[in-house]
Structure formats: structure tokens, C-alpha cells
Structure 1
């Protein structure tokens, strides 16, 4: 503010250029400062001074201009950006909306159809797209940015200046109809979330209200959202997703070099992992002894790359380069030069131990051996080798090329540099890693097993499958436990050789109802994959209950909600107390990014603390379940979940 005031006071200054002093123009507000007393000048004060300046003010944007940084540029009289710069208003991803005029100035500079995804979904644009839609005057070579900005500023000094706020909203046709159509199109993404709804309302104000009224409303709503539960939850996740890259005890561990990757198994998971690696620039040898499966995998990977190119997610040259990094082979001997080998075979211990024993004979000294197991004991797998220090779990989530989560499972003898390498690899392939201790199911699937047990117990007791799914989906999950089980496949981990009909799931598999892929699971599926209730399943469940002397009853939604959420939350507390997870936030990151827990609630551990740990314990007692010792101790001491975290986490 002082610099602007000084420049305005000096007659020799004809125009003003604003540029970033570091590697970026501005990343926006530091959210760690939220809640601190406001100081003068506020961002609104600075922006008003820029917009009302009688001398032209031009922004020279390099690196990124995000949040308040971009809001500042919107008030400038001109904007240039270096090629490769990224511009956006991501406030909605933190449960907020811009509070310094962004919702009002943006749709006056760019078409409403472009402003909507930027404001409501938080989607950024690059410099070339920004120039095309009018967000900036033009994009220039980075080395020419400052000179070009000076020239533009001096040129504007010879012309009448315009204030962005005085421009009309750029909309072709009925602006309110465009906003409503966008809201309906993205209903699944924004339903139940406060900030997107507020952004839509602010855009309606931009169309219908005087600009001063709309700006005042924007500021008031922004402050209200900042104090709200959803913003607190989303800010919690923002930090939690950065903390997971920091693991205590690895400060002196240097990551191993990973230049070539081998993958064993060309099924759905193997293909997805291969796609992640080759798309990140890593050469991959995909090993599969069955020629038909290997051929199908090669075709599926090629089709996926082609689809990414066609949808504009990948440049054609990058797609070609990625495909050239893939080598397919039938023999494990072809992996003798790999730095990392990921096993993605059938989820049976004997299968994995056999593969690891053979890899021990083939892999070069120092190569990392990883299992994609989702449940099994990583130490038992490592025991098949003479190098347990090189063995780690890398649990990808399906589809592995799209899902962001990577559970890194540390064995008792996993070397520190192997963990460091796994974390570095996650960053390289754009995954969010969470290090987990070794137990059955690790973090995510261990908690999932508790929810599944409750769901299937209630099913036996008389609860309706569709109603239980609706309870979970109304909370914000993309699908309920039974729809998810059918999609994943009920035969995951099931063996016909040892199945004894001891559970409903075993009986469904014995009846050939393996899930959506088979056209039948907990639901029946038509040719388009649409589910419908199954009388076959209901008869099977009634028979199963009767054989065990269980009298079925009507189970209400409140009981469903309690039993589907609170026991798994308590299992999360146990996981923390046992040291399987380092921090409460690690569990939240796993469930939000791997299992669809609604992001705006912060994850199961954050949700539990917002609810109150005593309330969780009371809820468990109300359904006849004894809270864990760890939860009871926390309640008795009035202590937070963070008190169970690793002391150095």
C-alpha cells in the first residue's frame, strides 16, 4: 500500500507495475493466519486503491497467481502472464469463497461459462487459456514479461482507464439460466457443500445486484464460511495431506534411485500401476505369464493413454512417449535390472510368497520389492526373501492410475531408505502417501472391515440393503457399502476351495453372485449396470438368519447411521493407539482419498472430534458395543486424538 501511495504521489511516475519478488507472483493468503486480528491495510483496501488509481496499474504474473493474489490482479488495469503461469481462485476447495471481489470482478473479465468452474469448482487455468478467455491481456515468454508489462503500462497511461467493477458481466443469453444449468450439471460434486453454493449465489448477485451491494455480501459470506465447520474440516485436510510426506526417523535417509520399474501381474491393478508409472516418466516392464491377459493389458493401457489425449488431459507427444516406456514380458527374469518391482498378483499369501521367493533370485541387489497387497501381512511376504529390509507394501487403490491414495506399509525390517524412496516415488507419480504399520488391512481396510461387519450384521437382522446404502450416500459417500462391495467384486479374497458358507458374502459367492461384473451380487444388475433389489438375496439372507436363530426386525436409519460409522471410528482410535497410523490426520487422508469419505467433513477422525469423543463413546454404548480402551481413556482424560499421535509426527 505504501508503494502504491508513493508511486501515485510522484509526478515522474506514469504507470505502476506489480510483480512478484520470489518464484511466484502470489499464492494467496496464508491460511495459518486465519482467526488472527485484521490489520490495516486489508487486501480489500489495497485492491480498492489499485482499481481507483488514476495511473494505470498492470500485473506481471509469473509462476502462480492464486486466491487473493489473483483477486489483486483482477483490479489492475492490465495483466500479462508468463507462459506456464497458473491462475485460479481455489478458495472453494478450502470451504471458502473469494472475499476481496473475486466473485464480482472475474465474471466481468471472462465469460460467465469460464468464471463458473473457476469459482464454483476451484479449477485453475494456464496462461494460454487465461489469454484466450480475457483473464489476461496476453501470455508472453518468461524472459520478456517485465519489459512487455512496462510497455503495456505506458501504453495504458495514454488512454482512459477503466475499472473492472464498472464492466458488465460477460454472459451470452440468460445469465441466471447459465448458472442454474451449471449447478445442475455438477450437482453430484457440490451437493451438501456450503462454499460452492455460496459461490453460485455470489455469481447470481453479480448478475442482479449493484456491484457495491454484491461486494459487501461477498465479504460477509466469506467471513461466515471461514468460521464454519466445513471450512475448518477442509483446512484440516489441506495440512494433513502435506504432513503425510513427513515421516519421523527418515531425516538422514537418502532415497534410492528409481529409474526402471517392474510390475508382476497384468490384471486391473497391474495395468493401473503401470499407467501411473509410465505417465510419470518411468520405464516399466509388465510381467504376466498368460499371453491373453498380457495382450489385453497392453491394449487397455494403449486405450487409456489415447483417451487421455483425446480428452485433453495429456499432450499427444506425451501419450506416445508414455506408451514407448512400456515393455511387456512373460518371465520374471526380465526384471533383473529393475530398481523397483511391484507385485500385483492374486490376494493369497501362498501366491505372493511364491512370487517373492522367485523375485529374490532374480532382482539385483538393492532393488526394492513391493507388494500391492491390500490386507496381508507384509512381514510374512518378506520372509520368503533373504532381503526383508528391501520389502515394503505399496497399496494402490483401484483404478490405480486415477486414485490419489498410496498406502505405504512398513514391515518390521523395512529399511529407512526404502520408506524414504516410497515417499519420493509417491510424489513423483502424483500420489498422496500415508505410511501405515503392518496389521491385517493396515489403516483403510482394517476400518472398512468393521463397517462391513456391521452392515452385514444388520442385513442379517433385517435391515434393507438399499436403505443402508442410502444412509451412507446421504452422508456424502459416492456409494454405500453394498454397492461398493459389488463394484469391487465380492470374490476379492474369496476362495471356493475353502468357502464354507459361514457368511452371507461366502454364500453369495457360492451362488455365483460375485458382484456387478457377474451381473449379480448384493443387487441384481441389468445390461447397463443399473442395480435393482434382489429377491434371491433377500431369500438367502432370511434363510441365513433363520439357520442361526436370528429374528429379523425393522432397523431405522438412526441405528444404521450409528452402527455404520461409530464402530469404524473407534477402530481408527485403536489404530492410532497401536501406532499403526502416526497421526489422526493420516487416517482422514486415507479415508477421504481412498474410500470416498466426504471431504467437507474432514475425514472420520476429524468428524469424531467435531462430534465429540464422549458422544462417540456414548453412541457405541447405546448400541451395545463397548468403546475401546483407547477411546475410553481419551474421554476420561478430556484429551484429543492428537495425544495418541507419534511424538515426533
Structure 2
């Protein structure tokens, strides 16, 4: 029976027989805030001072054991007592402390469990040390305690990757594993009673000594080399290896000191600032200001998709994966059959890789149906068109949907560049129209640009934001303009890459510079993969906006006119051998660029890597500043989320706007002005700093200061 019930802030305390039960109860995720740390210390001291208490069980009153540190405290302030102090009190306790790890334990949460003398959990549980994703390493003894309980390879894998790990793979870490979560606390109480009854020793991890033999030394050498190759641009992974190695080369006390030293080195890096910025940016993206609390989302129980091509099929898979039935519409049965067959092939490939069972493949395919008749969409709650990127085609589709879809159905466009307000003008219910811009491949890419039209209803916005989470996407709300946020910003990036080729840079030099910066591929490789004809078509629809610049992507236009559409045609900015995606430099492209430069009176020269980087990235940032100024994006962090998840901008740089803040807005502005003056008429038109960039640079502020 429970006795001596007390509360120590967010920590509950009571006794059951001679066992003190300390419950973490800080919703929503038991973050180890200062209040929690104080409460744990006070409750442990209460148990130690009570002569009738023989053992302590630490558990969670929430589904999650603990998500770890409260990283909002990273900004500073009086944080005493720090987590290492809490863990030392637990580890040095004179009575056995058993951790009942009832749910996921991540970061400091796992470190808390490791400091206990025994650990009990259930077989369905996962734990992890994900600090590397914040650009740091476990800083409360995780790098020292985990390898003392698990083997070196397991500790390295967990700490360097930050990936959650099943507890059944961590036999040395957990002393007892039960079958179900609800059994964990009682099993821990029984275990604690057994420890007392059998007079088992208090097992302090700090008392375990590790040897650094030649085999272990070789493991760390090889692991460090592999990490350096696989995590280029990141700082923390290499330091994680050094910290774990310290568990083998140092005493426990000295190992903790080494861990702390390496932790602080990580914290001072731009990578840590960038990764922590992005952590908060991703979470902030889901919060939409201005919506009434009374607004309720609409129910989405069935979805229609117009178009069964690569994009339409990928979109449909997202909903089938979430258990939502989808009806796909095509004008011809042959195209519909081809699209459904491609989806099945994608699922079958996932099954071959062990990502799905065959039963799951069939379950998902059963949720997909096809039609060639618009009337089949009469009962859908949401319909998404993924047809040819041409306004007349889009409006024709929406006109047909307006006639057949039920009242309250959301009508969404997957357009990547077109004016959503004009599309909405084709229907009698523009309040139901929204943009849902998926990124290719749609069933893989995490980003979903949610485009709000002038008349889009609040409940349609709310439904779309919630739906993004349902289909495991990161939804970011944006406004209407050409290209919205992502494609509008990529335009000056691609423009400058093409202009640099005219001025003397080769496609491979530009791609190498951008790759070294951290993007997965450079602009020319990306163009070839996407298809050069796609960009050509967009330019054709916007010739009046670029007519003043005869050099605008002129080489890219020439390539398309010669049938060089990229990978799919075996020739683009590069050559490709049949069946290979490896780009091969082509002297013919250099010759075309030279010929066009001569025709346009552009003198070719040797161009530095630094100029290439600045001219590709800084105009992109400058466009982002205009987008922010115009309110197309609500906050600079939203732009960063779009660029990391939609375009592969390196997370260790935090996104383009965070990168600009790190470089300094005055520096970005100065370099834009330099190119504005040094590139003649071309520079004067394309490199004018944004008004917002000028304002912030003059005030010594950052993009993140814009609210």
C-alpha cells in the first residue's frame, strides 16, 4: 500500500513497503529541467534519510521515461544543480536505486537510467543518446557509462548516430526485461525487493574499469576514419568517438572531465548553433499564428489524386502509408494501370529491402483504387491535382472538381510555381482551395509547402498542417508568389550557376564547390537529374521577366534545344553512360558556353571557388530576405526548414538564413554590393541587396530577430 505520499515539484514520492517510488511527472516528455533535477535530488534524499526505506525505484508517470535535457535552458541562466550532479547523488546513494524504464529514454533520460544501480525495462522499448543531432555529445556521463555496460561498438554506434536502439540489443545495460510496458514498474519493485532480500551489491557503473587492448584500439582507429568520411561537415561525430574512447583510456573521473571538455568544444561551434537552431525551427514551423482557437480541422477519411504519374503516385503512397484510402484519376486507363503498377513496384522493392512485409504491401495496395471518371471523386474529403504545370490545364481540372466534389471537400494543387489565387478563381468555393506542394520523390521527401491563398479558409489551413503530420511530412505554411519559397529562391541560385559558366567556370567546378559546402549535389547535377527541359519550360513561361538579360540561362536553353535534357536523355550539362547516373564532364558544353560568351561579349576568366560559393548562395539568401519582407514566409526559420528538407541544404549550416546570420548580414550585404559593382550592368540588376537585408545589417541584427 502506498504511504508517505509527497510532491517535490514535478516529482511524486511515495513508499510501497520498504521501497520508495520516485515518479517523474513533468509533462509532456519529462524533460530534465531545473525543477525536475531539484525534485529528483530532494526525493532521493528523502528516501535515503528514511530508515524504513531499503531501496528506491525511479520511474515515469508518463508514457515516456524521459526525452532528456530541456534544451531551452541552453541559452543560459542559473542551471544549478546540473544533471551530472544529480546523477552522482544517485550513483553514490547508499541504498540500491532501480530505474524502471517504462518508456523511451533519450539523451539525459538514458543517462539518468545509466546512473542507477540496476535497470528494468520492457522488450518493446527503445532508448538512445541523440545529442549528436544537436551538434553536441552526451554531457552527463553517457559516453562513460554506456561503454562500461555495453561493448565499445554498441556504444559508438548509439552515440555517433544518435539512433534509437531496441533494449533487447542492450543486454549488458538492462538487468531485467519484461514483456509489456505496464509490467515494468511492478517488476522493478520486485527486483528492488530481491536486491535487498538477497543482499546483492550496489552496482555502480563508475566502479567498472575498461582495458584498451590492441583490438579495441584498432576498433577506435577504424571507426574514427569511417566517421570522418561519412559525416563530412559535422563537428560532433568525431568528438563523440573521442569521448567514448576516453572511457577506455581514462579513469571514470578523468573520463567525465574529458567528456565535459569535448562537450564544451562542440557547444562553441557553428555546427552546434546551426543544428540547435534547426531543432527549434522544425518545431516552430508547425505553429501557425493568427488562427482562432475555435477553428476545428476538417475530417480527411478519403483522398483523391489527379494524375497517376511519378508525382501523383508518390503523393498517393503517402496517404496509403497512413492508412487513408486513395482514389487516383487519370484520363486514360493505360496511364492509370501504369501508375498503379509503378506504386506496387515501389512497395515490392521496399519489401525486398525488409522495410515492409508482403502483408503490408497488400494492405497498402488495397487502399489504392483507380478511375477515369471525375464522378468517382464525389465522396472524397480532399483532392490533390498533380497534373502538367500549366495554368490552363490546372484551371480546367479545378473547374471539373468544382462540379463533382462534395461541399466542404478541400481542393488542393501540387503546383510548384503557378499563382494559386488564379487557380482558385476557376471554382465557386475559393475558400476550399490550398496549395500542397510535395517534393519529388513525393513518398520520400519530408517537406510539404502548404500554400495559403487569398481566400483560403482557416480550417483548411489547420487541416492541412495537421494532415502533414499524419502523412509524416514537415508542413510549412507559405504565401502566394512565383515559386512560393523554395522554387523562388532556387531561381537566383540556378541563374548564377549558369552565368558563372558563361564567365569561365565549368559545371564540374561549380558542382564541386557546392558539394564541398555541403549540398548533396551541385546545380548542374541537380538540373540533369530533374530534367533540363523542366527549367526550360518554366523560363519559357516567364520570358517577359528575364528579357532584359540576354545571358539568362542561355547555355541551359541551348542544351535543351539540342535535345540534351539531362540524365533521361543521356546528355545534359554532363554525359551519362547507359544505366549510370555518374556525370561525365563534356568538353562540348564548355565549347557552347565559350561560343555564347563571345556572342554576348562576356570575357571569360578564371573564377575562384569563393566567388562561386558567394554568387550562388548569397543571391539565394537575398531572395529569402525579400520573401521574409513580403510576408511570404512568416519567419526566417521557416525558410531554413524548407531548404534543409526540400533542397538538401546542409543541416550543419542550419539553413540559408541561419547561415547568413552566422556569416554576418553585413558581410553578406557587402559581398552583394561588391558583385553589384564588379559585374557591370549584370551586377547592378541582379545583386541589389534586399531592403530587409540593408535594414538588419545597418542595425547589427540577424534574420532570426525578425518577428
How far apart are the structure 1 equivalents of 2:354 and 2:212? 25
How far apart are the structure 2 equivalents of 1:130 and 1:300? 40
Q: Aligned to 1:525, what secondary structure does the other structure show?
A: coil
**Quick one: which of 576, 581, 597 aligns to 1:545?**
597
**Quick one: which of 348, 352, 355 aligns to 2:390?**
348
How far apart are the structure 1 equivalents of 2:187 and 2:259? 34
**Quick one: which of 596, 621, 635 aligns to 2:673?**
621
How far apart are the structure 1 equivalents of 2:182 and 2:705? 51
How far apart are the structure 1 equivalents of 2:129 and 2:539? 56
Tell me, yes or no, if structure 1 residue 61 matches structure 2 residue 101. yes
1:436–1:581: 8 Å Cα contact kept in structure 2? Answer: yes
Determine which structure has greater relative contact order: mean sequence separation of CA pairs < 8 Å that are 6+ residues apart, divided by chain length. 1
How far apart are the structure 1 equivalents of 2:595 and 2:307? 39
1:111–1:171: 8 Å Cα contact kept in structure 2? Answer: no
How far apart are the structure 2 equivalents of 1:589 and 1:172? 45
1:347–1:493: 8 Å Cα contact kept in structure 2? Answer: no
- Deviation per CA, 1:234-276, whole angstroms, max 9, x where unpaired? 1111111111111122233211110001111112211211111
- Structure 1 residues 395, 135: closer, same or farther in 2, change over 3 A? farther
1:519–1:529: 8 Å Cα contact kept in structure 2? Answer: no
Tell me, yes or no, if structure 1 residue 44 matches structure 2 residue 78. no
Q: Aligned to 1:34, what secondary structure does the other structure show?
A: helix
How far apart are the structure 2 equivalents of 1:349 and 1:178? 59
**Equivalent position of 1:248 in the other structure:** 289
1:108–1:170: 8 Å Cα contact kept in structure 2? Answer: no
Tell me, yes or no, if structure 1 residue 635 matches structure 2 residue 668. no
2:120–2:174: 8 Å Cα contact kept in structure 1? Answer: no
**Larger deviation: 521-530 or 154-163?**
154-163
How far apart are the structure 2 equivalents of 1:566 and 1:497? 22
Structure 2 unaligned residues grouped into runs of 5+: 1-40, 544-551, 677-686
How far apart are the structure 2 equivalents of 1:402 and 1:504? 32
**Equivalent position of 2:233 in the other structure:** 192
Q: Aligned to 1:533, what secondary structure does the other structure show?
A: coil
How far apart are the structure 2 equivalents of 1:179 and 1:620? 45
Tell me, yes or no, if structure 1 residue 16 matches structure 2 residue 40. no
Pairs aligned (count): 644
User: 1:106 Cα deviation (Å)?
Assistant: 1.3
**Equivalent position of 2:195 in the other structure:** 156
- Deviation per CA, 1:144-177, whole angstroms, max 9, x where unpaired? 2211011112223322233223446699993344
- Structure 1 residues 222, 498: closer, same or farther in 2, change over 3 A? closer
Tell me, yes or no, if structure 1 residue 267 matches structure 2 residue 329. no
**Equivalent position of 2:343 in the other structure:** 301
How far apart are the structure 2 equivalents of 1:154 and 1:497? 75
**Larger deviation: 508-517 or 46-55?**
46-55
Q: Aligned to 1:422, what secondary structure does the other structure show?
A: helix
User: 1:78 Cα deviation (Å)?
Assistant: 1.9
Q: Aligned to 1:531, what secondary structure does the other structure show?
A: coil
How far apart are the structure 1 equivalents of 2:121 and 2:278? 31
Structure 1 unaligned residues grouped into runs of 5+: none
**Equivalent position of 2:563 in the other structure:** 512
- Deviation per CA, 1:11-59, whole angstroms, max 9, x where unpaired? 3322210012334221111111124345443321222232233432111
1:346–1:352: 8 Å Cα contact kept in structure 2? Answer: yes
1:108–1:164: 8 Å Cα contact kept in structure 2? Answer: yes
**Equivalent position of 1:578 in the other structure:** 630
Indicate the RMSD between aligned Cα atoms, in angstroms: 2.4
2:479–2:632: 8 Å Cα contact kept in structure 1? Answer: yes
How far apart are the structure 1 equivalents of 2:359 and 2:95? 45
**Equivalent position of 2:19 in the other structure:** none
- Deviation per CA, 1:382-405, whole angstroms, max 9, x where unpaired? 122222111111111111111111
**Equivalent position of 1:535 in the other structure:** 587
Q: Aligned to 2:602, what secondary structure does the other structure show?
A: coil
1:109–1:170: 8 Å Cα contact kept in structure 2? Answer: no
How far apart are the structure 2 equivalents of 1:188 and 1:431? 29
How far apart are the structure 2 equivalents of 1:599 and 1:326? 35
1:367–1:390: 8 Å Cα contact kept in structure 2? Answer: yes
- Structure 1 residues 139, 535: closer, same or farther in 2, change over 3 A? farther
1:348–1:493: 8 Å Cα contact kept in structure 2? Answer: no
User: 1:180 Cα deviation (Å)?
Assistant: 4.5
Q: Where does 1:584-595 land on structure 2 (aligned, <5 Å)? A: 584-595=636-647
**Equivalent position of 1:418 in the other structure:** 460
**Quick one: which of 240, 257, 265 aligns to 1:224?**
265
How far apart are the structure 2 equivalents of 1:465 and 1:497? 20
Q: Where does 1:269-284 land on structure 2 (aligned, <5 Å)? A: 269-284=311-326
**Equivalent position of 2:74 in the other structure:** 34
1:378–1:392: 8 Å Cα contact kept in structure 2? Answer: yes
Runs of 4+ with >6 A deviation? 170-173, 496-502
**Larger deviation: 69-78 or 627-636?**
627-636
Q: Aligned to 1:445, what secondary structure does the other structure show?
A: helix
**Equivalent position of 2:473 in the other structure:** 431
Q: Aligned to 2:532, what secondary structure does the other structure show?
A: coil
